[in-house]
Structure 1
Amino acid sequence: MKGFEPSLFDKLFDDSPVQASRRRLSLDELKDSVARDLEALLNTRTVVDETRASRFPQGLRSVASFGLTDFSGMSLASVNDRRTICEAIERAIARHEPRLQDVQVELELDRRSINALFFSIRAMLVVRPAQEPVNFDAMLKPTTLQYSISRQR
Structure 2
Amino acid sequence: MSHIARTRELRPSILDRLLDHDPQAVREPAPARHQYLSELRQSVRRDLENLLNSRFCMIEPPQECPEATHSLLNYGLPDLATVNISDAEKKQRFVQQLERILREYEPRFKSVRVTHLENRERTDRTLRFRIDAVLWADPAPQSVVFDSILEPVSRSVNVKESLHG
The two structures have a TM-score, normalised by structure 2, of 0.74
Partners of 1:89 and 1:105 within 8 A in 2: yes
Partner of 2:14: 8
The 1:20/1:52 distance shift into structure 2, 3 A limit, reads farther
Structure 1 residues not aligned, in runs of 5+: none
> Paired residue for 2:87, among 78, 86, 98?
78
Equivalent pairs: percent with the same residue? 29
Amino acid at match of 1:46: F
Partner of 1:27: 37
Q: Could you say what secondary structure the match of 1:32 adopts?
A: helix
Amino acid at match of 1:38: L
The answer to whether structure 1 residue 40 and structure 2 residue 50 are counterparts is: yes
- The RMSD of aligned alpha carbons is 2.9
The structure that has the greater radius of gyration is 2
User: Deviation digits for residues 82-112 of structure 1, max 9, x if unmatched?
Assistant: 1221111111111111111321111211434
Q: Provide the C-alpha distance between the structure 2 equivalents of 1:85 and 1:54, rounded to a whole number of angstroms.
A: 25
User: Deviation digits for residues 96-141 of structure 1, max 9, x if unmatched?
Assistant: 1111132111121143463532111111111333302211011111
Partner of 1:93: 102
> Paired residue for 2:152, among 137, 142, 151?
142
Partner of 2:3: none
Q: How many residues align?
A: 150
- The structure showing larger relative contact order (alpha-carbon pairs under 8 Å, at least 6 residues apart) is 2
Q: Could you say what secondary structure the match of 2:45 adopts?
A: helix
Amino acid at match of 2:15: F
- Following superposition, the deviation at residue 66 of structure 1 comes to 0.8
Q: Provide the C-alpha distance between the structure 1 equivalents of 2:63 and 2:131, rounded to a whole number of angstroms.
A: 25
Partners of 1:54 and 1:60 within 8 A in 2: no
Q: Could you say what secondary structure the match of 1:72 adopts?
A: helix
Q: Provide the C-alpha distance between the structure 2 equivalents of 1:54 and 1:103, rounded to a whole number of angstroms.
A: 29
Q: Which moved more, 1:82-91 or 1:23-32?
A: 23-32
User: Deviation digits for residues 16-44 of structure 1, max 9, x if unmatched?
Assistant: 57979876452122111100000000000
The 1:13/1:146 distance shift into structure 2, 3 A limit, reads farther
Q: Could you say what secondary structure the match of 2:41 adopts?
A: helix
Partners of 1:71 and 1:85 within 8 A in 2: no
The answer to whether structure 1 residue 104 and structure 2 residue 110 are counterparts is: no
Q: Which moved more, 1:96-105 or 1:39-48?
A: 96-105
